[in-house]
Amino acid sequence: MTTSHRAPARRPQVVLFDLFETCLQLEGLRPRIEALGRPGHELELFFARLLHQGMAMTLAGEAPPFAVVAADMLRRTCGRDLTDEQVASVIDGFRELPVHPDVAPALRRLAEAGVTAYGFTHGSAEVAGAALTAGGVRDLLADVVSCAELKMFKPPPRVYHWTCERVATAPARTALVAVHSWDVHGAVSAGLVGGFCERLEGRIPDAVARPHVTGPALDDVVEGLLALPEEPTP
C-alpha cells in the first residue's frame, strides 16, 4: 500500500465503491459472448465502447440508460444482426456477475472501523444490487447509488457532488475507490479522496490526477484510507 497526497486529505467518513470490475467481475460475461459464436476477447472491446459511448453522450448533454447503451455497443462489437434475445442473453449477465474475492474483506474492515460504504455505479442500481446480493456482500453496503438518475455516466464533477449529497457527506470526507484510473481522476478532481486499486491497470498512469491512496487489492486501499489523519496535514 502506498499513500500519496495530491492535496491534504482526511480519513473519509464514507467510502464509495465503483462496481463494474472494481467489485463485480466482468469476466462473468465472457462465456455469454462466446455463446454467440464470438471470440471471448470481444468482452474488453465491448465494455470499452460502452464506457466511451456513455461518456460521450454525457458530454453532449444526456446519456440513455446503461442497458440501452450496452445493447447498442454489443451489436457494434459482436454483430449488428444480433437478435433481441441474443443481446438480452449477454446484458442479463450483468445481474449475475461474480464478486471479486477482495471485496468482502475490504467492506468488513470498513464496517469494523465504523465507516459507511456504498456501491456507486452508472448502471442500474437494482441490477448491480442483485449481483452483490448473490455474491454475499450487499448487506455490507448501506446502499447502491446510481448516477443513471442524472442521465449521466461518470466522471463529470456533478456526478460525484450529487452522490456526496445523496450520502450526506462533504466531498473532502468522501472517498471513491476504483480500479479505473479515470474514475479516481474524476473523483479527485471533484474534491473527493481518491483510492486507486491496482488490480486491473497496474501502476497509475502519468496523465491522471494522483490518488491519495493506492494498493494492489481493495482491502489494501481501505487500510490506506483508514490510516489517513483525522485532520488534514498542513
Residue 59 vs residues 41, 155, 183, 185, 208: alpha-carbon distances, Å: 28, 10, 15, 17, 19
- Name the pLDDT band for 109 (thresholds 50, 70, 90): very high
User: Which tens digits make up the pLDDT trace of 130-139?
Assistant: 999 999 999 9
- Whether 74 and 46 have beta carbons less than 8 Å apart is answered as yes
Instruction: Please report which helix (H) or strand (E) contains residue 125, including its range.
Output: helix 125-134
Q: How confident is the model at residue 231 (pLDDT cuts 50, 70, 90)?
A: confident
pLDDT per residue over 48-99, tens digit each? 999 999 999 999 999 999 999 999 999 999 999 999 999 999 999 999 999 9
Nearest to 172 by CA among 187, 182, 152, 159: 187
Could you give the count of Cα atoms lying within 13 Å of 25 in the half-sphere of its Cβ?
13
For residue 81, the model assigns a pLDDT of 94
> Model confidence over 145-185: pLDDT tens digits?
999 999 999 999 999 999 999 999 999 999 999 999 999 99
Q: State the pLDDT at residue 197.
A: 98
Q: Please state, rounded to an integer, the average pLDDT across all residues of the chain.
A: 94
Residue 36 burial (10 A CB sphere; 0-12, 13-18, 19+): middle
Q: How far apart are CA 32 and CA 40, in angstroms?
A: 9
Strand partners, 196: 178, 214
Does the structure show a pLDDT above 90 at 230? no
Reported in sequence order, the residue ranges of 141-192 that DSSP labels E, i.e. its strands, are 144-146, 174-178
Distance CA 108, CA 223 (A): 11
Contact 189, 180 (CB under 8 A): no
Q: How confident is the model at residue 31 (pLDDT cuts 50, 70, 90)?
A: very high
Reported as a pLDDT band with limits 50, 70 and 90, residue 128 is very high
> What b/e string do you get for 189-201 counting C-beta neighbours within 10 Å, with b at 16 or more?
bbebbbbbbbbee
C-alpha cell at 42: 470481444
- 4 band by pLDDT with thresholds 50, 70 and 90: very low
CB 111 within 8 A of CB 142: no
Residue given cell 484510473 in the structure block = 181
Is pLDDT larger for residue 7 or for residue 143?
Answer: 143
Q: What is the pLDDT of residues 174-207, one digit of tens each?
A: 999 999 999 999 999 999 999 999 999 998 899 9
Q: List the domains of the chain with CATH numbers.
A: 2-24+97-226 (3.40.50.1000), 26-96 (1.10.150)
Residue 2 scores a pLDDT above 50: no
